A and B are shown apart, each in its own frame.
Chain A
Amino acid sequence: MNIINPAHDPQDVTRTLFQDFSTWMTVSFYVVAITAIAVFAYGVWMQIAKYRRGAPDRGWKMLGHRFMTMLKEVFSQRTVRRRDKPAGHAHALIFFGFVLLFIGTSIITLDYDITGPLLGLNFWHGSFYLWFSLVLDFAGLALIAGLLFMMYRRGWLRPPKLDYARPDRNPDEPDYNRSQYRIEDWAFLWTLVIIALTGFVLAAARMVWLHADPLVWDYRWWSPVATVLAYAFKGVGLTADGGEILRLYTWWFHGILALAFIAVIPYTKAMHMLTAAGSLMFRDPLAAQRLPTVPEEAVQVGYEKVTDFSWKHLLNLDACTKCGRCHEACPAATVGLPLSPRDLVLSLREFANESQWPKLLGGDPSKQVVHGDGVNQIRPETLWACRTCMACVEICPVGIEHVPMIVQMRRHLVEEGEMDPLLQGTLQNIQKKGNSFGENKRKRARWAKDLDFEIKDARKEPVDMLWFVGDYASFDPRNQKVSQRFARILTEAGVDFGILHDGEQNAGNDVRRVGEEGLYEMLAENNIEALNGASFQSIITTDPHSYNTIRNEYPDFGARFAIEHYSSLLDRLIAQGRLSFPKTLNYRVTYHDPCHLGRFNRGFDAPRNIIRALGLDLVEMQRSGDNSFCCGAGGGRIWQADPVGVEKPSENRMHEAAQIEGLEVFVVACPKDVTMFEDALKTAGYEGRFVVKELIELVYEALGHEKREREAADVA
């Protein structure tokens, strides 16, 4: 089918640009356009200059692959939809609408200003033009629909994550007030809506003006929305002459507003169009799991000044869209501790800008140190409130790496010696004794003495599996019981295993996340040496924290070991029939994903498979899987006291679990979780309602051991 009337020359089926414009008008338009582009370019240049002040980053490798991944993320809009579908879909409408309109405008410019005059090549006419009109008409409609939903969301739905309430400042402090942002958010929406609406008015006015021209009017339905609007204009009595005037004024209004929008992109929220793409492109998929190493010869460690930040982290700061997803997921912000990953990023962004801009433009280049009490500076209590639980990094739609930034800033505090006395004591214990309990090294394997069999010393005889026990499971009395049960389970399943006895030290995961890199290096080196001195096929660990650092961070120290968490091993043993359960447990349980097993290393399935194999009735909490809510122990927080009078993250979690009707057991798979939640169970007032158990304990119970033990005790 030919969509062009044979009576018409396809060359004539187009839109005449600057139709009936005098020369001065056309020239003025070009002056405005070029100025807008210059302002835009200056802004982009300033931002790039800002990133270039940053330290190097290892992100330049595999650029092609990075670029493709970024395109996939951007065009699938996957990250924007996560945990907020409606907003994600609305954003997709805006995004695709905007992209198509942008491409459309670029095509016109290409045809009119470049290929036309330079090569004599014009293609913006005929059927291409018609399809083009149709697509852009819908793009405009999509854009408006998306924007209207966003307005409805901000104005009526008002999700709390968008209210900019800051937990890290008091209302009377100068940088508490974020109303500036709110104004900007609305200005952004309104500007785009007005640009899109005036685009339609303009097209409709042109149609009314030129309705006598069959080259325009016969093809009107290729712009359906504009056409409907044109009928409406005619309906209210707009004449051709009126249409001409309306078209002229709207043309200028629309044109100038659109150009002004382009000009301010690098200075406003709109900047995320560029920075988010850059941030996603250079994102490190293991940003929280594998922290940056410090070169041995480095004189200075961590982030003290803006210029110590890697250029990527500076770019990250500008990518934040203030979507609040991280703020909502953060355990510290949730319970009202003085940290919100969003506000941290925004404060640093403002600070970086201020330190970059010349005095003339409101900057203050003398401000360089990001730590402190001043406006937009980061306070130590903010940094220490972080549990490095990765909830922020995991959900951030634009790939911002809060955790390494926070740890880098902590590294500076550690070098300055500024930290909680309790934490100092623990670090000193670890320095001296290799464990956080301050116990003698020789006592590490004492828990194994109560078993009726010997656990092999992997340093002395070869074993299949080396069990890396970890501090809590070795020294904490409650967790020692779990360790003993695990040893029995392994023996029952016929696994050939051993431990390092007093050769094992704290694996260093949390020491590193505190920011004590020197101590971490020492621990990693000592453990690697001990592991290299033992003979085994693979490592198994009951401690998700050790699991993470041995798996993801030891390779940076030249040691690659096959390691798994006990849950995947047990899952396999059950599947192979090497563990069978004479007893079915029928408790109603819920399962808490430990950060370092779940979010960090995506071990979501194995524990659930085991739970199902035991016959338990698993009811999930609202926040589970990748959205699991941290127990509050991470990042060395288990070695510090939480402030009194503030709810603990672990208590918050208990309240969530308690909503499950008839809950009997709160199942965990991490020794630190046992400690944190058993404590919170009491302080939150649920003692007697349900209990906290390690998954190992349930497996052990289902093996029928508990009963046998009780019988043995009764006989005695």
Chain B
Amino acid sequence: MKILVPIKQVATLDEDFELRDDGRDVDPDYFDKDLNEWDEYSVEEALLIKEASSSDVEVIVVTVGPDDADEALRKCLAKGADRAVRVWDDALEESDSLAIARVLARVAEKESPDMVFAGTQSSDAAYSSTGVALAAFLDWPHAAVVSKLDYAVGADKAVFHRELEGGLLEEGEIQCPCVLTIQLGINAPRYASLRGIKQAKSKQLDELSLDDLGLSASDVGAQGSASRVRRVFVPEKGQAELIGGTAAEQAERLARIIKEMRGM
């Protein structure tokens, strides 16, 4: 029994940052990298199933990213995943979520897992589409934004809850194998200790190239993508201002603003 968990190493922004020269992303000097928050939950869900099962369950984490993404994989290995796969090729640069899902689908075909748990979305790009696209490529059923899961290893059906608008919950069942995208709060993710992360270095981490997956450069990157980022930008500052200080100071500031607005 295998559970495949695609994860992403995301960028977390500093308070002050600058954009890249081409204006299509943030300057890498201004962000830290970390495991995507949603993926903490999808990994945890797989681990809980593994721990609750009496038969052998293998949890495999996979990511598409350059070598520094190993850090995110190691964190998952430290938590208890059995092995990790990282796919990279410079041609993957500029891939959108569809192209990434295409790569992940090949990994899934290779591993033939019984279940795939993806995070609902990534905290940096926030398309919420990789997991769903992956299901489409595999031609598997999927359920998105799963907030509760009832699944026993080897069962041919899983029962889940999904959060709908207005506090409504949907309970559904789904044929396995399937792709589930996991929502925050479904469980309480465990902590990966620094020692654990160091020791995870001894666990298996395979690096795959596009060749290994039978893909060519044109399947991924800008060519293999259906969408493209034109620019990212900070919207014009709004006109809200929180006035602090003593009552007198507040009054004074307010008076000045009014004067400014009236052009006095």
Q: Please determine whether B191 and A419 come into contact, CB atoms closer than 8 angstroms.
A: yes
- Residues of the A chain whose Cβ atoms lie less than 8 Å from the Cβ of B14: 440
Task: Give bound CA distance, A519 to B34, whole Å.
Answer: 17
A301 within 8 A of B: yes
A33 within 8 A of B: no
Task: Give bound CA distance, A516 to B198, whole Å.
Answer: 13
- Residues of the A chain whose Cβ atoms lie less than 8 Å from the Cβ of B198: 518
Among the listed stretches A23-31, A256-264, A352-360, A410-418, which one makes contact with chain B, having 4 or more residues with CB under 8 Å of it?
Answer: A410-418
Residue among B15, B189, B194 facing the most chain A CB atoms (10 A cut-off): B194
A568 within 8 A of B: no
Contact with A along B1-44 (1 / 0, CB 8 A): 00000000000001100000000000000001010000000000
B193 within 8 A of A: yes
B237 within 8 A of A: no
Task: Give bound CA distance, A433 to B196, whole Å.
Answer: 19
Residue among B32, B192, B193, B197 facing the most chain A CB atoms (10 A cut-off): B193
Identify B191's interface contact among A294, A301, A424, CB under 8 A. A424
Task: Give bound CA distance, A81 to B32, whole Å.
Answer: 56
Q: Please determine whether A415 and B34 come into contact, CB atoms closer than 8 angstroms.
A: no
CB of B123, distance to nearest CB on chain A (Å)? 14
Q: Please determine whether B194 and A516 come into contact, CB atoms closer than 8 angstroms.
A: yes
Q: Please determine whether B196 and A518 come into contact, CB atoms closer than 8 angstroms.
A: yes
Contact with A along B61-96 (1 / 0, CB 8 A): 000000000000000000100000000000000000
Q: Please determine whether B32 and A415 come into contact, CB atoms closer than 8 angstroms.
A: no
CB of A308, distance to nearest CB on chain B (Å)? 16
- Residues of the A chain whose Cβ atoms lie less than 8 Å from the Cβ of B79: 417
Q: Please determine whether B188 and A518 come into contact, CB atoms closer than 8 angstroms.
A: no
Q: Please determine whether B194 and A418 come into contact, CB atoms closer than 8 angstroms.
A: no
A237 within 8 A of B: no
Q: Please determine whether B32 and A414 come into contact, CB atoms closer than 8 angstroms.
A: no
B231 within 8 A of A: no
B195 within 8 A of A: yes
Task: Give bound CA distance, A52 to B190, whole Å.
Answer: 34
Task: Give bound CA distance, A299 to B202, whole Å.
Answer: 12
Q: Please determine whether A518 and B191 come into contact, CB atoms closer than 8 angstroms.
A: no
Q: Please determine whether B191 and A427 come into contact, CB atoms closer than 8 angstroms.
A: yes
Q: Please determine whether A421 and B188 come into contact, CB atoms closer than 8 angstroms.
A: yes
CB of A705, distance to nearest CB on chain B (Å)? 22
CB of B74, distance to nearest CB on chain A (Å)? 12
- Residues of the B chain whose Cβ atoms lie less than 8 Å from the Cβ of A518: 193-198
Specify the chain A residue showing the minimal Cβ separation from B40: A424
CB of A325, distance to nearest CB on chain B (Å)? 34
Identify A519's interface contact among B32, B188, B193, CB under 8 A. B193
Q: Please determine whether A517 and B195 come into contact, CB atoms closer than 8 angstroms.
A: yes
Contact with B along A414-453 (1 / 0, CB 8 A): 1111110101100110011100000010000000000000
A522 within 8 A of B: yes
Q: Please determine whether A417 and B194 come into contact, CB atoms closer than 8 angstroms.
A: no
CB of A222, distance to nearest CB on chain B (Å)? 69
28 A-B contact pairs sorted by A residue (CB < 8 Å)? A294-B195, A414-B193, A415-B196, A416-B190, A417-B190, A417-B191, A417-B192, A417-B193, A417-B196, A418-B190, A418-B191, A419-B191, A421-B188, A421-B189, A423-B191, A424-B189, A424-B191, A427-B191, A428-B34, A431-B194, A432-B34, A433-B32, A440-B15, A516-B193, A516-B194, A518-B197, A519-B193, A522-B194
Contact with A along B174-204 (1 / 0, CB 8 A): 0000000000000011111111111100000
Q: Please determine whether B195 and A415 come into contact, CB atoms closer than 8 angstroms.
A: yes
Total interface residues on A, using CB and 8 Å? 24
CB of A418, distance to nearest CB on chain B (Å)? 6
Residue among B79, B188, B191 facing the most chain A CB atoms (10 A cut-off): B191
Total interface residues on B, using CB and 8 Å? 17
Given A432-B32, A440-B14, A440-B15, the answer on whether A301 and B190 have CB atoms closer than 8 Å is: no
- Residues of the A chain whose Cβ atoms lie less than 8 Å from the Cβ of B196: 415, 417, 518
15 extra A-B contacts, CB within 8 A, seeds A427-B191, A440-B14: A301-B195, A416-B190, A417-B189, A417-B190, A417-B191, A418-B190, A418-B191, A419-B191, A421-B188, A424-B191, A428-B34, A517-B195, A519-B193, A519-B194, A521-B194
Task: Give bound CA distance, A415 to B190, whole Å.
Answer: 9
- Residues of the B chain whose Cβ atoms lie less than 8 Å from the Cβ of A423: 191
Specify the chain B residue showing the minimal Cβ separation from A517: B195
CB of A215, distance to nearest CB on chain B (Å)? 76
Scan residues 177-225 of chain A and give those whose CB is less than 8 A from a CB of chain B.
none
- Residues of the A chain whose Cβ atoms lie less than 8 Å from the Cβ of B193: 414-415, 417, 516, 518-519
Q: Please determine whether B15 and A414 come into contact, CB atoms closer than 8 angstroms.
A: no
- Residues of the B chain whose Cβ atoms lie less than 8 Å from the Cβ of A417: 79, 189-193, 196
Q: Please determine whether B34 and A414 come into contact, CB atoms closer than 8 angstroms.
A: no
- Residues of the A chain whose Cβ atoms lie less than 8 Å from the Cβ of B188: 421
Task: Give bound CA distance, A427 to B196, whole Å.
Answer: 14
Task: Give bound CA distance, A243 to B196, whole Å.
Answer: 77
Specify the chain B residue showing the minimal Cβ separation from A430: B194
- Residues of the B chain whose Cβ atoms lie less than 8 Å from the Cβ of A516: 193-194
Specify the chain B residue showing the minimal Cβ separation from A431: B194
Task: Give bound CA distance, A440 to B30, whole Å.
Answer: 10
- Residues of the A chain whose Cβ atoms lie less than 8 Å from the Cβ of B190: 416-418
CB of B138, distance to nearest CB on chain A (Å)? 31
CB of B231, distance to nearest CB on chain A (Å)? 25
Contact with A along B192-219 (1 / 0, CB 8 A): 1111111100000000000000000000
Specify the chain A residue showing the minimal Cβ separation from B79: A417
Specify the chain B residue showing the minimal Cβ separation from A294: B195
Contact with B along A372-387 (1 / 0, CB 8 A): 0000000000000000
- Residues of the B chain whose Cβ atoms lie less than 8 Å from the Cβ of A416: 190
Task: Give bound CA distance, A414 to B194, whole Å.
Answer: 10
Task: Give bound CA distance, A620 to B68, whole Å.
Answer: 56
Scan residues 479-517 of chain A and give those whose CB is less than 8 A from a CB of chain B.
516-517
Task: Give bound CA distance, A418 to B51, whole Å.
Answer: 14
CB of A179, distance to nearest CB on chain B (Å)? 37
The 10 closest A-B pairs by CB, nearest first: A417-B190, A518-B194, A518-B195, A417-B191, A519-B194, A424-B191, A414-B193, A415-B193, A518-B193, A419-B191
CB of B105, distance to nearest CB on chain A (Å)? 30
Task: Give bound CA distance, A423 to B79, whole Å.
Answer: 16
- Residues of the B chain whose Cβ atoms lie less than 8 Å from the Cβ of A521: 194
Residue among A415, A417, A424 facing the most chain B CB atoms (10 A cut-off): A417
Task: Give bound CA distance, A419 to B34, whole Å.
Answer: 20
Task: Give bound CA distance, A522 to B197, whole Å.
Answer: 13
Task: Give bound CA distance, A440 to B32, whole Å.
Answer: 10
Task: Give bound CA distance, A24 to B8, whole Å.
Answer: 87
Specify the chain A residue showing the minimal Cβ separation from B197: A518
Task: Give bound CA distance, A522 to B194, whole Å.
Answer: 9
